[in-house]
Amino acid sequence: MTQLTKLFFSNTTKQSLSFLTMKRQQWQPQLQLLFYLFLLIATVSSSSSPLDPKQLKALKSLKILTTTTKDPCNSNDNNNSSSSTITCDNASPFRHVTSLSFKNCSSSLSLPYRTLKPLSESLLSLSFHNCPSLSPPKHLPISLHSFTAVSSFHHRNGLSGVYLARLVNLTNLNISSIPISTSGLYVILGNMRKVTSLTISNSRLSGNIPKSFHSNLTYIDLSKNLLKGTIRTSVSLLELTHLDLSGNQLNGTVPSFLSEIKSLKHLNLADNSFHGVLPFNASFIKNLDFFEVRGNSGLCYNHTVVSSKLNLGIAPCDKYGLPLSSQPQKEDSTSDDEEEEEDDYDDDYEGGNENEKEEQHGSNKIVLGVAIGLSSLVFLIIFLILLARWCG
Ligand SMILES: *[C@@H]1O[C@H](CO)[C@@H](O)[C@H](O)[C@H]1NC(C)=O
Ligand SMILES: *[C@@H]1O[C@H](CO)[C@@H](O)[C@H](O)[C@H]1NC(C)=O
Ligand SMILES: *[C@@H]1O[C@H](CO)[C@@H](O)[C@H](O)[C@H]1NC(C)=O
Ligand SMILES: *[C@@H]1O[C@H](CO)[C@@H](O)[C@H](O)[C@H]1NC(C)=O
Ligand SMILES: *[C@@H]1O[C@H](CO)[C@@H](O)[C@H](O)[C@H]1NC(C)=O
């Protein structure tokens, strides 16, 4: 017994002695151990667990947490000027980051692999809003369920289709105002079997609408791109609620199968090159929350099926199914649309647009001048005739 205690004491003294003689750097593992112990105790005594230390370190290296942030999983704590938001799961002993959202990133932000890796294990949702100078992360966590990027990655000329195609577990993909280089949408969606919500808007996306979609898509927004060709029957096989194909170069007739998609609530086909008779009746159109077809100069509606009161912004059809064109009101609204369209383009076009408006002003003035001149002349003639009669 005494032998044992002696041994114990000598051991502890040795240890404490070695503690004292340690250099500062050697202290660190011991301190880390204490830190973990402290965290464990904290876990037991408090209701929610602390964040995984590896992930905490990664977040700190991103400088999106201030040094005073105690619990980054607590939304009140990360409500600071950096405007990045973090959400965590409720696992124990450690919580993990499940979603990360960057907004208005500073130009110094970067996301190197060593930072993203400890986060990738648990990260399900990643989003970037207005991070133009950021480079897209080289290795996106392929387990992501949701990826959003809006007005970001501009100095790298945007994103490639192949880059996005790797995210096979996505249910939600939202890319807006970022150029995408790819030979077609099929490249991106080929292996994304779980995707339910798809937005690729204002991204210079070219090619056709794919021959087939994975069947769980309910939300499609492909507006303001360079898509060509017709609306394929692949669209009819979805349980769709939202379809926005506006602002592309799609052509052909508007397929009647769209009216058979019972769940459809939002349909926008504006500003394309569709032609022929709109195959929808008034009750279908009224049942939608949103419907837009204007800006398709070859498209017309059958006035026996759809009342002009619906104000669709397209001409009624003649008996051959061609737009009746002699309507001054219609012409006005089309030119308005064209102006708006040009406003949407790059800033470079703005100057030209101004000039055009200026010119229009000029011609309006000329018309007004001529009108005033002519009417004065008519009044003068009438006056002279009356004068002559009075004198005579
Ligand atoms: C974040 O902070 C701002 C003021 O700094 C406050 O107006 C806003 O309500 C806060 N948001 C949340 C979610 O706490
Ligand atoms: C995608 O999800 C499935 C099921 O949740 C999972 O088994 C698979 O490992 C995931 N794939 C990737 C690449 O994360
Ligand atoms: C589509 O969704 C249903 C129900 O959520 C699911 O059972 C099915 O596996 C999904 N299909 C694909 C291809 O992911
Ligand atoms: C209108 O179109 C829908 C969808 O094609 C159809 O189910 C409905 O019967 C039509 N209603 C009328 C009054 O023709
Ligand atoms: C308009 O609808 C009526 C009634 O359904 C039909 O008889 C007519 O042929 C249609 N006109 C055109 C141009 O499609």
Predicted confidence (pLDDT) per residue in 50-84, tens digit: 889 999 888 888 876 655 666 777 655 445 555 78
- CA atoms of 153 and 129, how far apart (whole Å): 10
- Which ligand has the shortest distance to the CA of 192? 3
- CA atoms of 113 and 116, how far apart (whole Å): 5
Q: Closest ligand 4 atom, CA of 281?
A: 1
Report the nearest-CA residue for atom 10 of ligand 2.
143
- Which ligand has the shortest distance to the CA of 322? 5
Q: Please tell me if the CB atom of residue 253 comes closer than 6 angstroms to any atom of ligand 5.
A: no
Is the model's pLDDT at 9 over the cut of 70? no
Q: Please tell me if the CB atom of residue 145 comes closer than 6 angstroms to any atom of ligand 3.
A: no
CB under 8 Å to 221, separation ≥6 — which residues?
198, 199, 200, 201, 242, 244
Pocket test for ligand 5, best of 283, 300, 302 (most atoms within 8 A of CB): 302
Higher-scoring residue by pLDDT: 186, 379? 186
273 to each of 117, 254, 280, 326, how far by Cα in Å? Answer: 46, 10, 17, 20
Q: Please tell me if the CB atom of residue 317 comes closer than 6 angstroms to any atom of ligand 5.
A: yes
In the sheet that 315-316 helps form, which strands lie side by side, from edge to edge?
206-208, 226-229, 249-252, 273-277, 298-301, 315-316
**Predicted TM-score (pTM) of this structure:** 0.72
Is the model's pLDDT at 388 over the cut of 80? no
Distance 301 CA to ligand 4 centre (A): 15
Distance 278 CA to ligand 5 centre (A): 11
- Which ligand has the shortest distance to the CA of 167? 2
How much is the average pLDDT of 232-236?
89
Token digits of residue 164: 């996005």
Q: What's the confidence (pLDDT) of residue 380?
A: 77
Token digits of residue 55: 């992930």
Q: Pairing between strand 146-150 and 315-316?
A: unpaired
Q: What is the mean pLDDT of the chain?
A: 78
* CB-count burial class (<10 Å; 0-12, 13-18, 19+) for 155: exposed
- CA angle centred on 73, ends 68 and 75, rounded to 5°: 80
* CB-count burial class (<10 Å; 0-12, 13-18, 19+) for 306: buried
Q: Please tell me if the CB atom of residue 259 comes closer than 6 angstroms to any atom of ligand 4.
A: yes
Q: What's the confidence (pLDDT) of residue 354?
A: 36
- List Cβ<8 Å contacts ≥24 apart for 16-21: none
Is the model's pLDDT at 338 over the cut of 60? no
Is the model's pLDDT at 216 over the cut of 80? yes
Return the closest-CA partner of residue 183 out of 163, 205, 156, 198.
205
Is the model's pLDDT at 227 over the cut of 80? yes
- CA atoms of 62 and 68, how far apart (whole Å): 15
